[in-house]
Amino acid sequence: MAYKKPESALVVLYDEHHRVLLLQRMDDASFWQSVTGALEEGELPIETAYREVFEETGIDAKSLGLRINNHHKQNKYIIRKRWQRRYPPGTEHNIEHVFSLKVSSDTPISLTEHLQYEWVSKEEALQRLWSPSNREAVSLFVPNAS
């Protein structure tokens, strides 16, 4: 098995109504998250962000002329014990680069790596997201509803 690089991109998607797209993990149905994924060898974080949005939602942001916002924010967090086996032995921390993307709620979503998705209010997202860094990103980078 090839190990994952302990560096990832987190992309918070939100729509014109300031609702946040939540994705339910296949390997833990209680775990809701935004788009996220590890950097591949030689890949820049922004490239990972575009790739992961496409892989996890089917949204080809570049083709649609959508710009992913790089917030130039990095989080360092402890990798969940149950997932540490995916990383090189002794790896306990991950570095996460934070991005956001505004998309129309009419944009079709095609899941490949998650059980289901939901568009929810910012407040509900903050309650349901498992990861503290994901909650912080939603809090900081998703506009409040008018």
- Rounded Cα distance, 143 and 15, in Å: 10
Q: Does 34 carry a binding-site annotation?
A: no
The 10s digit of each residue's pLDDT in 51-73 is 999 999 999 999 999 999 999 99
- pLDDT tens for residues 3-44? 999 999 999 999 999 999 999 998 888 899 999 999 999 999
| pLDDT of 35 | 98
Please compute the mean of the pLDDT values over residues 127-144 and round it to a whole number: 95
- Confidence class of residue 145 from pLDDT cuts 50, 70 and 90? confident
**CA triple 68-79-59, angle to 5 deg:** 25
Q: Is the pLDDT of residue 82 over 90?
A: no
Per-residue b/e over 34-50, b at no fewer than 16 CB within 10 Å? bbbbbbeeeeebeebbb
Q: Would you say 75 and 36 are in contact if contact means Cβ atoms under 8 Å apart?
A: no
Fold of 7-141: Nucleoside Triphosphate Pyrophosphohydrolase (3.90.79)
| 81 annotated among ligand-binding-site residues | no
Bridge-partner residues for 93, per DSSP? 78
Pairing of strands 7-14, 35-38: antiparallel
Q: Does 52 appear as a known binding residue?
A: yes
Q: Is the dihedral of CA 40, 86, 20, 127 positive or negative?
A: negative
Mean pLDDT, the chain, whole residue set: 95
36 a known binding residue?
yes
Binding site annotation covers 25?
yes
pLDDT in tens, 98-112: 999 999 999 999 999
Of 117, 128, 140, 7, nearest to 58 by C-alpha is 117
Is residue 146 predicted with pLDDT exceeding 80?
A: no
What pTM value is reported for the model? 0.94
pLDDT at 24: 97
